[in-house]
Chain A
């Protein structure tokens, strides 16, 4: 059963539409991520679910119960904040015990439960300290422990790792994932970091301007973007303006540069239609003589950049030499890789199945 269900939920601030008729179901035990640029309505959606703000219209269900008019302290939710929001005047023990004390839990149960979650977050010895005596990462783990300790039906997290540095953030991502798997607790996680979303989520909701742009498993979103926004927001992409020539098993298009390319089958392949075609940099190869691809184009290498494990080549394919006009090729950086110098003529190749046809505006119908 859906743990959280939103039914045509909208929130307006005067003329600003922060959230527009959103329908959504978060399944029990799911790790769901709200991903979107700044101002897309992520925090608004979380606050509506938590009950910190009232919806303009629509309803919120938690665990099957309509909570649209239930105050936040009666919704049985947990929340983890970016600034931790630990009580500075309480010890770590009392901080974690707080939700239990509010529920008038017996003392021995409080002791046992706090001990349990402190073990779970692997910080068993900090119970007597004050929050300011812990590092940022430790404080965030305490905040998580505090949200777990009373078994809420869902834990909401608004960019919980936003204040941590990259290394610690990655550790905490794994930690969160581990705790999620271990407890099977439902989590709704907000981030604007696409990598974080791809790493952690069972499903991702892509938000833009208060609307759900696309929703699905990370792989699905990455490999089947349903519009320019999704394609652009998740991962890197090479986009080309094109006109459809013919549809069918594959889609044949003619680009603005006059190249004929073959893309995968598409729902918008009426001949003559203006579209964009997109291919991910890691799906484009620099062709060796013994390889063959559905698409092959000539170009001249502008620059190559080594980014640790991967190498990015910028190739001029007739559009110009600026970085955003170049075709980007990404390949794994292996020892013995033939290095490619700027100015070299190369042939780029990729298959039709890796090339997507996208509408100039709006979204493709759900596949």
Chain B
């Protein structure tokens, strides 16, 4: 195993220390809303207040056992995982074609594939709603999956393109000359080297889908709501303090995902 060596004297100069302190302040500022939610989630059943005046796990019990919050959570997981896989399956080959291809009009293909990033999300949501209505898949799980695939694929393409630009092309050339065909080169050389970028892109897509409320609000129906949609609904109609518990859990989930991503990147 190659040990990762730190250069002598790194992270010791006063500049480095200053940078660290600033970074931590920025970090804390961004995390503050999440930290406020954490103690609130252990408050009582009647109202959301900060700081809470009593301690209980009532809200968590509500979330896990009492209501249909878990249904929404599972739906969100299923949609996020499926759309992430689809986005990777569509996005990685698209990125490969854009970066390595030599056909004319490549730039326009790239622009077209990225265009969902530029269109306001509410417009995408409305467009998808009308389109899916004509297909009869509004309010279905598959409709949600397709909608989120469309929403996250451009981001997977961007991260994969960046990753591909870092994959040394002479490795692919070498593989070709040694007798590997296009497919063999792609699966044995390019794809393994693209793994970190795909992992990052996949995590990103997962979080985006899990988090997405506008499109899901249009496509979902009352019996089939993703977690963010249900949260949005509950704050409008119920003002249920369970929301605090959900937010706290979401924060923890995001943290876990980020730590996972960081540790994976360190390894590769």
Contacts and interface: CB of A to CB of B under 8 A. Distances in A.
Interface string A13-52: 0000000000000000000000000000000000000101
Interface residues of B, number: 18
A198 to B, nearest CB: 28
B199 to A, nearest CB: 14
B interface SS class? helix
A81 B180 contact: no
A125 interface: no
A99 B179 contact: yes
A133 B4 CA distance: 12
A83 B189 CA distance: 16
Contact of B177 (A77, A89, A101, A132): A77
A322 interface: no
Contacts of A73: 176-181
Contacts of B188: 98, 101-102
Contacts of B170: 81, 83, 85
B155 to A, nearest CB: 25
A102 B177 contact: no
Contacts of B168: 83, 85
Contact of A102 (B171, B179, B192): B179
Nearest to A83: B170
A98 B175 contact: yes
Interface string A91-131: 00000001101110000000000000000000000000010
B173 interface: yes
A277 to B, nearest CB: 46
Given A52-B173, A79-B177, 17 more contacts: A73-B177, A73-B180, A76-B179, A78-B177, A78-B178, A81-B170, A81-B173, A83-B168, A87-B171, A87-B175, A89-B192, A98-B175, A98-B178, A101-B188, A102-B178, A102-B179, A147-B178
Q: Which 3 A-B pairs have the closest CB atoms?
A: A99-B178, A85-B174, A85-B170
Interface of A: 50, 52, 72-79, 81, 83, 85, 87-89, 98-99, 101-103, 130, 132-133, 146-147, 150
Interface of B: 2, 168, 170-171, 173-181, 184, 188-189, 192-193
